[in-house]
Structure 1
Amino acid sequence: MCFTIKCDCFKCDCGGDGGCIDFTLALFLPPVAVLKRRGVVKEFWISVCLTMACFVPGSLYAVNVVKTKD
């Protein structure tokens, strides 16, 4: 089952890697998505600071982390 926002600009294939759930988390809970995807404490705190400053930069940073390969 894939939980995503249907949009033509973001294609999600739900290939079992958790990408769809990570992308949804990145939009609504950015620090959780960064911690789940990378597990790096430094990047988690960057996401927390950006999210606290204003929600949009935190979400954009989390989407960038989710979209990039490890």
Structure 2
Amino acid sequence: TGDVVFSCLKGAEVGDGAVLRLFNPNPGPEEVGIDGVGLVERIRLDEEAAEGGGMVLEPAQIATFRLRGSLVRER
């Protein structure tokens, strides 16, 4: 298996926390784990909750996550 690619980390436009965007350049699905934060939530580009998806990125898929908690500085 390969690695996913970091694309973006920014403060959330809506609500609190940070927004993390990852890309899977590999030919197969990749499961990601994000440590050091209290809550990880998969969201859409508009920062609303995403349905399904979980922590698996399909090939050539971009995924967006909201991070809240311990290592994320809240506004």
TM-score (norm 1): 0.26
TM-score (norm 2): 0.25
Greater fraction strand: 2
Which of these two proteins has the greater Rg computed from alpha carbons? 2
Greater fraction helix: 1
